[in-house]
Amino acid sequence: MASTMIGKQALVIGAGMAGLTAAGALAHGFDHVVVLERDTLPSEPTHRAGTPQARHVHGLLLSGQRALSELFPGFEQDLARAGAVPLRAGLDIRVERPGYDPFPQRDLGWSGYAASRPAIERTVRRRVEGLANVTLRQRCRVKEILASPNAAMVTGVRYEDDDGASETMAADLVVDASGRGALTLALLQSIGRPLPEETTIGIDLSYATCIFAIPNDAPTDWKGVMTFGEAPRDSSGALMLPLEGNRWMVTVGHHGDVLPSDAEGFLAFAQSLRTQTIYNAIRHSKRLDGVARYGFPESVRRHFERLDGFPRGLLPIGDAICRFNPVYGQGMSVAALEASLLKRLLERPGQTSDPIAGLAPTFFSEMQALIETPWSVAMLDFVFPDTRGQRPADFETMLRFGIALTRLAAEDPAVHRLTMEVQHLLKPRSVYRDPNLMQRVFARMAEA
Ligand SMILES: Cc1cc2nc3c(=O)[nH]c(=O)nc-3n(C[C@H](O)[C@H](O)[C@H](O)COP(=O)(O)OP(=O)(O)OC[C@H]3O[C@@H](n4cnc5c(N)ncnc54)[C@H](O)[C@@H]3O)c2cc1C
């Protein structure tokens, strides 16, 4: 292993999904990897303060599951052992969208898993804890990324340990997986470098989530439900997924005002959805928790790839680069795909004498292909008139194309499968440019 190492020590800020998967990748390129996390990391799959979003539904796409299995072979079996519920794609989730209540349920030939975010993260963390050259240090809050006196390279971080003492740690590479990426931006600012341009899609999404015991008389024709409102008039929707421990997690949301924090208000919102499937399932079910809420103002994409030069030894990853409207369930999977890309870059035979200097620019450039499809999914929010940001010029055509494609997918299992493969980020959106498919979609558009 030592002959392929490109540095002695890598340091990861944050033990969320991006930090843990990055640590798994970096273990292949550095003698030693240290992960510094500000939280106490629970030994059980329970909540912690640093990831408040973990109280809400966290769907894992098949691309994310596969990337996690590539980084940690046997990951899917670990997830199953942790109690994750297997789901047949296309069959086990009842999808309700205007005109299709429900969308045809058919087995598309692959399985995924549903579990709580703490259970998914705990499963990954166990695998990272098992890596001989990775150390996870909890209750260490990074305060600052440190640069060399000439500001050309990053040399390590300053952090506060458990006792509040200020410490420094040197590293050949610092990976910022802190979610917000504020430390990276602060460093760029402090050394007089430009900040990356940002593209934002403002949605002011309000989320509320409750957990219920699955009753004995639960419907048997689905394991979960996804309900969409009538866009562009109604942005309300809900996702109910099964969790480990025979539970349902129900997240409801809309663009706009904060949702109620009490159980009655939660049920009333569920009842006000376009369909009653979720309300009927939970109205007599035992509630196991209070109502958790979350406000998500905007999807953000930072264009690090457009920067002219970047400090050697620094790499932001995960949400620090791109945060997506969570409704589409893409963040964890994109983080795992980015970590897989990082691993491939570390394993690629060195083309320069200083592979660490080349790492961030190559990563920023190659991850664009990976971000393109999930970002174009996040752009669907422009269907709502109050969405802020730069609406693509051809958005109306995109929408009409999407509606016609959905109609074809409802009729033709092969097209259904293809759209699910794109949704699960197994294939890029560009597969829709297949001439034969485009001809069929355009014919539907003309009919409409
Ligand atoms: C409401 C909501 C629902 C979501 N639902 C889904 C979903 O269904 N499917 C999906 O795939 N994704 C979903 N996401 C997105 C997903 O949570 C993230 O994209 C994913 O976890 C990757 O995030 P990350 O690891 O980059 O950051 P985070 O998960 O935010 O982790 C950052 C970590 O860094 C630590 N940290 C922060 N600052 C410091 C510091 N200074 N020093 C040390 N440690 C620090 C934090 O404590 C935390 O552990 C959702 C997000 C939200 C907000």
Atom of ligand 1 nearest to the CA of 318: 26
Half-sphere exposure of 430 (CA within 13 A, CB side): 5
Of the candidates 238, 223, 179, the one whose C-alpha atom is nearest the C-alpha of residue 91 is 223
Minimal-distance CA residue to ligand 1 atom 39 = 178
Q: What 3-state DSSP class applies to 233?
A: coil
For ligand 1, the distance from its centroid to the CA atom of residue 363, given in whole angstroms, is: 20
Helices (H), 349-424: 355-378, 395-411, 413-423
The alpha carbons of the chain give a radius of gyration, in whole angstroms, of: 22
Minimal-distance CA residue to ligand 1 atom 47 = 50
Q: What is the pLDDT of residues 316-330, one digit of tens each?
A: 999 999 999 999 999
Residue 350's pLDDT is 72
Residue 4's pLDDT is 75
Residue 349's pLDDT is 74
Question: Is the beta carbon of 181 within 6 A of some atom in ligand 1?
Answer: no
Residue 267's pLDDT is 98
Question: Is the beta carbon of 298 within 6 A of some atom in ligand 1?
Answer: no
Give Cα 296 distance to the centre of its chain: 14
Residue 104's pLDDT is 98
Q: At what angle do helices 355-378 and 331-347 cross, to 10 degrees?
A: 150
Minimal-distance CA residue to ligand 1 atom 3 = 326
Question: Is the beta carbon of 36 within 6 A of some atom in ligand 1?
Answer: yes
**What's the average pLDDT block by block, 10 residues per block, for the chain (448 residues)?**
78 98 98 98 96 98 98 98 98 97 97 98 98 98 97 97 95 98 98 97 97 97 98 97 98 95 97 98 97 98 96 98 97 98 91 89 97 97 97 95 97 98 97 98 93
For ligand 1, the distance from its centroid to the CA atom of residue 57, given in whole angstroms, is: 13
The Cβ of residue 254 has, within 10 Å, a number of other Cβ atoms equal to: 22
Of the candidates 286, 317, 49, the one whose C-alpha atom is nearest the C-alpha of residue 177 is 317
Ligand 1 binding pocket mutation candidate from 13, 17, 324, 370 (most atoms within 8 A of CB): 17
Q: Residues 115, 119, 121, 124: is their CA dihedral positive or negative?
A: negative
Q: What is the pLDDT of residues 192-207, one digit of tens each?
A: 999 999 999 999 999 9
- Give the contacts of 396 (CB within 8 A, at least 6 positions apart): none
Helices (H), 228-295: 263-271, 277-282
Question: Is the beta carbon of 207 within 6 A of some atom in ligand 1?
Answer: yes
Question: Is the beta carbon of 70 within 6 A of some atom in ligand 1?
Answer: no
Ligand 1 binding pocket mutation candidate from 20, 38, 373 (most atoms within 8 A of CB): 38
Residue 448's pLDDT is 83
Residue 411's pLDDT is 97
For ligand 1, the distance from its centroid to the CA atom of residue 333, given in whole angstroms, is: 12
130 token code pair: 């098992």
